[in-house]
């Protein structure tokens, strides 16, 4: 028997979440974001589960080629466009759609002498990451729309910076800027990431671009996927590999960061930061042992963590331990570790055994 540390990916949950996105954005097509190895879930299995998506979106040509290798015909969008002039030919030859977000990419596009490509023009409405500034946007649009290198009417996109927050004013301002800049222009629009898809129906437009929600996880500051009607697709689990008792006052783990307030029964589970469990999760981070919550105690090691089993007198080695997923939202673990669920999902490491379930 090998190390019992594994991640299970449920395809039925993925399909449910895509259907839930469609139910919430009924007038929009869905560009399923499957960058970063489908948020750590495995690109091949996920692409198949989302085969009904209207398009896939990824962060690079390499990722797009990996999607193509799965053998599906869905359009594939490069969310950051190409990173060098040479990439444009390969993108065009493979039929990928590209984002053009700045003057450098526009120059590459003008020099392109292969088949025309569908283009998304990105405008920066406040995120200040990628996109033409409101000042430069119209001139860029006029140029791009006339280029023979562009297939069809260029489409228009922007990205929301704060749609996950309670305060809705910033997003409202981004929408207003986008609408003013693009008023009267033809072409399909896309604005919403997961948070926009959940919280801003006015931002759904022609195409929504959800990532995180498709994996059953909520991007919102508060709450979690299940409370949004989503099903977490990834469950990370292992087993107890030791169960013991320590006397009152003894400490556990590197640095002795937890000391027993009384004689304490505790367990060691085979998972650590070498598997992608966050090292910054502190004392009290919830862990499921046999389906019941117990607190983690002490520091996370590379291969192990300790859990307080005082509430579980019958727990023994071999018992199931769930770190996140079904019954324990990854959002909660992310908050306990001072990070976001995206990072935890993307960060599950190579040595974890992945299993795909229908
Ligand atoms: C990653 C990404 C998305 C998806 O974001 P989620 O928060 O996971 O829904 C959408 N659009 C762009 C441009 C992205 O880079």
Domains of the chain: 11-217 (3.20.20.10), 234-357 (2.40.37.10)
Q: Is 209 in the pocket of ligand 1 (CB under 6 A)?
A: yes
Tens digit of pLDDT for each residue in 183-200? 999 999 999 999 999 999
pLDDT of residue 13: 98
pLDDT of residue 67: 97
Compute, in angstroms, the gap from residue 201 CA to the centroid of ligand 1: 16
Is residue 205 within 8 Å of residue 29, measured between CB atoms? no
Closest CA to 155 of 68, 55, 24: 55
Compute, in angstroms, the gap from residue 211 CA to the centroid of ligand 1: 6
Q: Is the pTM of this model over 0.85?
A: yes
Q: Is 40 in the pocket of ligand 1 (CB under 6 A)?
A: no
- How far lies 116's CA from each of 89, 110, 153, 187, 237, in Å? 9, 11, 12, 17, 47
Tens digit of pLDDT for each residue in 29-56? 999 999 999 999 999 999 999 999 999 9
pLDDT of residue 1: 58
Is residue 250 within 8 Å of residue 267, measured between CB atoms? no
Using CA atoms, how far apart are residues 233 and 242, in angstroms rounded to an integer?
Answer: 29
Compute, in angstroms, the gap from residue 320 CA to the centroid of ligand 1: 34
Using CA atoms, how far apart are residues 125 and 101, in angstroms rounded to an integer?
Answer: 12
The per-residue pLDDT string of the chain (358 residues; one tens digit each, 9 = 90 and over) reads: 599 999 999 999 999 999 999 999 999 999 999 999 999 999 999 999 999 999 999 999 999 999 999 999 999 999 999 999 999 999 999 999 999 999 999 999 999 999 999 999 999 999 999 999 999 999 999 999 999 999 999 999 999 999 999 999 999 999 999 999 999 999 999 999 999 999 999 999 999 999 999 999 999 999 999 999 999 999 999 999 999 999 999 999 999 999 999 999 999 999 999 999 999 999 999 999 999 999 999 999 999 999 999 999 999 999 999 999 999 999 999 999 999 999 999 999 999 999 999 9
Give the pair of three-digit tokens for residue 15: 């399909």
Neighbours of 235 (CB within 10 A): 22
Please give the number of the atom of ligand 1 that sits closest to the Cα of 99: 13
Cite the active site residues.
35, 254
Parallel/antiparallel/unpaired status of strands 55-58 and 258-259: unpaired
Mutate to test the pocket of ligand 1, among 24, 31, 32, 33 (most ligand atoms within 8 A of CB): 33
Neighbours of 185 (CB within 10 A): 16
Angle at 298 between CA 295 and CA 304, to 5 degrees: 90
The answer for residues whose C-beta is within 8 angstroms of residue 23's C-beta and 6 or more apart is none
Q: Is 19 exposed, middle or buried (0-12, 13-18, 19+ CB in 10 A)?
A: exposed
pLDDT of residue 52: 97
Neighbours of 108 (CB within 10 A): 20
Please give the number of the atom of ligand 1 that sits closest to the Cα of 213: 9
């Amino acid at each position: 028997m090998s190390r019992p540390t594994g991640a299970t990916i449920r395809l039925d949950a993925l399909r449910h979440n895509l259907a839930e996105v469609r139910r919430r954005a009924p007038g929009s097509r869905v560009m399923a974001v499957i960058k970063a190895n489908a948020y750590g879930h495995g690109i091949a299995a996920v692409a198949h589960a989302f085969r009904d998506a209207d398009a896939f979106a990824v962060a690079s040509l390499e990722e797009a080629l990996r999607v193509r290798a799965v053998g599906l015909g869905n359009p594939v969008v490069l969310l950051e466009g190409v990173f060098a002039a040479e990439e444009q030919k390969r993108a065009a030859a493979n039929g990928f759609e590209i984002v053009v977000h700045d003057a450098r990419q526009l120059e590459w596009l003008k020099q392109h002498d292969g088949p025309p490509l569908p283009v998304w023009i990105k405008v920066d409405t406040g995120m200040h990451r990628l996109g033409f500034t409101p000042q430069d946007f119209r001139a860029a649009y006029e140029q791009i729309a006339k280029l023979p290198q562009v297939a069809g009417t260029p489409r228009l996109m922007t990205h929301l910076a704060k749609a996950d927050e309670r305060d809705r004013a910033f997003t409202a301002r981004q929408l207003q800027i986008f609408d003013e800049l693009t008023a009267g222009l033809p072409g399909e629009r896309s604005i919403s990431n997961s948070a926009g898809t959940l919280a801003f129906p006015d931002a759904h437009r022609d195409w929504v671009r959800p990532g995180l929600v498709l994996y059953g996880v909520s991007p919102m500051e508060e709450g979690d996927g299940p409370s949004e009607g989503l099903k977490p697709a990834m469950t990370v689990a292992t087993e107890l590999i030791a169960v013991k008792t320590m006397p009152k006052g003894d400490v556990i783990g590197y640095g002795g960061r937890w000391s027993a307030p009384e004689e304490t029964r505790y367990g060691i589970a085979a998972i650590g930061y070498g598997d992608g469990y966050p090292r910054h999760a502190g004392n009290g981070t919830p862990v499921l042992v046999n389906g019941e919550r117990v607190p983690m105690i002490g520091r996370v090691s590379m291969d192990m963590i300790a859990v307080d089993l005082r509430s579980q007198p019958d727990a023994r080695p071999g018992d199931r331990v769930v770190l996140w997923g079904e019954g324990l939202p990854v959002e909660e673990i992310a908050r306990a570790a001072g990070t976001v669920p995206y990072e935890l999902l993307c960060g599950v490491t190579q040595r974890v055994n992945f299993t795909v379930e229908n």
